[in-house]
Amino acid sequence: MEPWELHGWFDEYLDACNRHDLTVVRDLLDPTVRRAHLPAGADAWLDDLADLFHGFPDWRWKTIQLVAEDDRIAAHLRGSGTHTGSWRGMPATRRHVNVAEFQFLRLHGDRIVAASGSGDAEIRAQLTG
């Protein structure tokens, strides 16, 4: 894909995430997608998103900056939501969190085959601090 196509692809991916549409997100993941420091595979990725959306039903991301080159995307995002359900085993705190996130994706065709980025430490800190 050309860089402008990667930008459009990422907009569609983020829109599916913001709609919490895991069916569409699954279509954008390679079944064996590798994630740095996390379990591999589309099912593990979707389980993590489902857990996030359960804990933060209003969770949304906003793109701050996006860089696309060859088969790679680097995204600086702002994620936010209110913790009204259990997340990562933590009972609801009703706290609103707003965090900076970074995602680095490698695509093959129109599917994510590898990903790395910031973890959930900043979310945890805002819920427990």
Looking at residue 129, what is its pLDDT? 80
> At residue 3, does pLDDT exceed 90?
no
Cβ atoms of 75 and 103 within 8 Å: the answer is yes
Give me the pLDDT at residue 119, please.
Answer: 87
Look at residue 50 and give its three-state secondary structure: helix
All residues at 6 or more sequence positions from 82 whose CB lies less than 8 Å from its CB, including other chains: 56, 57, 58, 94, 95, 96, 97
51-100, pLDDT tens digit by residue?
999 999 999 999 999 999 999 999 999 999 999 999 999 999 999 999 99
Global pTM value: 0.94
Fill in the amino acid letter for 32: T
Is 124 exposed, middle or buried (CB count within 10 Å of its CB: 0-12, 13-18, 19+)? middle
Mean pLDDT value across residues 92-115: 97
pLDDT digits (tens, 9 = 90+) for 4-53: 899 999 999 999 999 999 999 999 999 999 999 999 999 999 999 999 99
